[in-house]
Chains A and B, each alone.
Chain A
Amino acid sequence: MNVSLEHYLMLTAFVFAIGLCGALSRKNAIIVLMGIEIMFNAGILNFVAFWHYKYFVSLTAQVFAIFAISIAAAESAVGLALVIAVYRHYRSVDLDEMRSLKG
């Protein structure tokens, strides 16, 4: 049994679900960001798996993956700056305590 594209799709679907679970159920904002990074990585691995199994002679998928990684890095920088700003305000990184907009 060779490793097929379906194996990679299964793996990335599972890892994406793990990241989603962490992003939705944890209380610490930093770990929520970690879950978002896990989801990003699962998506990019999907791109590379499709490139490997279907469009191996084209470089488009690799370039797209590089752009996606750059955007993920920028997102993580801004997200962590937001976490630090929110921490300055609330003295906490617990998402449950950030409820100013809640009536």
Chain B
Amino acid sequence: MEIAFWILSAITVMGAIMAISLRNVMHCLLSLILFFFGIAGHYFLLHAEFLGAVQILIYIGAVAVLIALATMLTRHITGEEGPREVLGGKWWAGMGTAAIIAGLLWAIIRKDALARLLPTEAANISYTALVGDIGRALVADWVVPLEAMAVLLTAALIGAVVIALEEVIRKR
């Protein structure tokens, strides 16, 4: 468990750092897929097998392909930024904010009062949430949020199409 945790953490952190620091957008996307795989591995390690499968299906199967298509539809087909600067105008402010947030989170987690509240061992490994249990819970206890999510996804789909088509409609 421990060795797997450190390997997966290394993959996750490396993928995240490469995804935001490389110049070529396509390389960033491939690093992001590595990061998604690391997170999915963490889910499997935490006995959330269904979430791991969902992570691979939705993030690597759908979101990554969506980002790839958006990258190809915009100007930089290869994603190459060229000799131009990749960082935004006030990048130092963004990095400073991120460093301050990281320090604050670190301080909060390291605080003794919180550390005493946190359990060190897993609660009960004998029970594993089966996919069938999650499915039954989704259509029994959480059926209203599930339907709301269906409406939200439909609205997002229609909204995305309308936003992306806006200019074409206006030209006619």
Contact = CB atoms under 8 A, between A and B. Distances in A.
Given A3-B2, A65-B51, A25 B109 contact: no
A20 B98 contact: yes
Given A10-B106, A77-B157, A2 B87 contact: no
B122 A56 contact: yes
A53 B119 contact: yes
Nearest to A74: B156
Contacts of A52: 46-48, 122-123
Contacts of A65: 48, 51
Given A26-B88, A56-B122, A81-B160, A18 B17 contact: yes
Interface residues of A, number: 76
Interface in A21-56: 21-28, 30-31, 33-35, 37-38, 41, 44-45, 48-49, 51-56
Interface size, B (range): 35 or more
A84 B138 CA distance: 34
A5 B118 contact: yes
A27 B20 CA distance: 11
A27 B85 contact: yes
Interface of A: 1-11, 13-28, 30-31, 33-35, 37-38, 41, 44-45, 48-49, 51-57, 59, 62-63, 65-67, 69-78, 80-85, 87-89, 91-93, 95-96
Given A17-B102, A37-B59, 17 more contacts: A4-B118, A13-B105, A18-B20, A19-B16, A25-B94, A26-B87, A27-B86, A30-B74, A37-B32, A38-B20, A38-B35, A48-B51, A54-B119, A69-B54, A73-B58, A77-B156, A83-B74
